[in-house]
Amino acid sequence: MEPILKVENLVKRYAKRNLVGPPQEFLALDGVSFAVFSRSTLAIVGESGSGKSTLASCIACLELPTSGNLWFEGKNLAQSPESELRNIRPQIQLIFPDPASSLHPGWSILDIVAEPLILQHKLGRKERELRACSLLERVGLSAEIAARSASTLSGGQRQRLAIARALTLDPKILILDEALSALDCSTQAQIANLLLELQSFLGMTFLFITHDLTMAAHLADEIAVMSAGRIVELGPSAEVLRNPSHEATRQLIAAVPQLPRSSWPAIQQ
C-alpha cells in the first residue's frame, strides 16, 4: 500500500536576523523523513523547540521547506506552484493548540464553520448552513447554538468547533498541533474520544503533535520522537515505549507524570 503522505529528507532553515551583524541561520528541520498510511495516526512527540510545529506548517503547506520532498497523493508539495497548493490545502487541515485564540470571538458559530466553504466557493447559502449544522452535530455540539458567538463556549466546546471547521472541506489529513494541551484532563478525554470516533467513521489520517506521551501512546499507531530538528526514533507505539532506543525518548518517558495506579515501570523495565 502506498502511504498517503511521504516526507523525504525535509529541511527548513530560518534566517535569524540580529540588530547588528549578518543574519544567522537556524536549522528548524534537519532532514526529516517518514511516511504515514491512510487511516492511521502518527504521533510526533518531542520537547519544545524540537521542530514539531515547523514540520506541521510545512506539511500543511503554510511554509515552504528549504529542501526535501513532501509527497501527498502522487504530488510533490515541496515543488508545487502556489496555484496547485491552493487546491491541496483544504485536504490537509491544521488544528491549533489554543481554541480561544484560533476562533474569531465575535463571529457566530455558524459563520466560523461555514467560512471555509465560502472561501472555496462551494455550495449556496442554504446548503452551506445545512452542512455547517450537520458538522456541529457530528462533533457533538448542538445545532441550536449555531447563532451564538464562539466566546460563549467553554474550552472543550471551542476545540470541538475548531475540529468542525477543519472538517468542513472533507480533509484527508488532520494535523493536531497540541490540540489537547490547553484543555482540562476530563475534557481531553472527551475530545480524544471524538477524534477516535471521527477517524473510524470518516477514515481520516491524523498527525498528532504533542508533548503528552501518554495521550500519544493512547491515540497513535506509531510514534515519532523529534529532537533538534531530527526524528531520532520512529516505530509502533508499544515498541517505542517498551524499548526506547534514543536518549531523548528515554528522557520523555522518564518525565511523564503518572498516577500511582498505572504500572508504567513495567514497560520501562
Partner 1 sequence: MASVLDVQSLQVSYSSREVRPRPVLSGVSFDLRPGEILGVLGESGSGKSTLAASVLRLLPPNGHIGGGAVLFEGKNLFQANSEHLRQIRGARISLIFQEPSLALHPTIRVGEQVRQVLAAHQSGAKSALNEKTREICAQLFPQDSDRILRSYPHQLSGGQRQRVLIAQAIACNPAIVIADEPTAALDPVTQMEVLAIFRSLRETLGLAMIFITHNPALLSDFADRILVLYAGQVVEWGPAHAVLRSPKHPYTKALFESLPAISVEYEKSRKNQLPVIPGNSSLSSLPRKGCSFEPRCPLRMDVCTELEPALVNLGESRLVSCFKYKD
Indicate whether 238 belongs to the interface with partner 1 (CB under 8 A).
Answer: yes
User: Residue 212 CB, nearest distance to partner 1 (Å)?
Assistant: 7
**Residue selected from 9, 151, 154, 245 as contacting partner 1 according to rule CB under 8 A:** 154
Indicate whether 55 belongs to the interface with partner 1 (CB under 8 A).
Answer: no
Between CA 252 and CA 213 the distance in angstroms is: 7
**Residue selected from 23, 49, 105, 203 as contacting partner 1 according to rule CB under 8 A:** 49
User: Residue 115 CB, nearest distance to partner 1 (Å)?
Assistant: 26
The single residue listed with the C-alpha cell 491541496 is 88
The site string for partner 1 over 158-197 (x = CB under 8 A, - otherwise) reads: --------------------------xxxxxxx-xx--xx
Q: Which is nearer to partner 1, 54 or 188 (CB)?
A: 188
* H or E element in which residue 71 lies: strand 67-72
Contact (Cβ atoms closer than 8 angstroms) between residue 35 and residue 222: no
Q: Which one, of 235, 181, 173, lies nearest residue 210 by Cα?
A: 181
| 116 residue type, one letter | P
Q: Which segment (22-30, 66-74, 130-138, 256-264) binds partner 1 by CB under 8 A?
A: 256-264
Q: Which one, of 175, 228, 199, 204, lies nearest residue 43 by Cα?
A: 175
**Residue selected from 111, 129, 212, 222 as contacting partner 1 according to rule CB under 8 A:** 212
Q: Which is nearer to partner 1, 114 or 153 (CB)?
A: 153
Q: Is 12 exposed, middle or buried (0-12, 13-18, 19+ CB in 10 A)?
A: buried
Q: Which is nearer to partner 1, 48 or 83 (CB)?
A: 48
| 60 residue type, one letter | A
Indicate whether 19 belongs to the interface with partner 1 (CB under 8 A).
Answer: no
CA distances from residue 230 to 14, 66, 115, 206 in whole angstroms, order as listed:
15, 15, 36, 20
Indicate whether 42 belongs to the interface with partner 1 (CB under 8 A).
Answer: no
Q: Which one, of 180, 205, 222, 230, lies nearest residue 32 by Cα?
A: 230
Binding residues vs partner 1 (CB under 8 A): 46-49, 154-156, 184-190, 192-193, 196-197, 211-215, 217-219, 221, 237-238, 241, 251-252, 254-264, 266-267
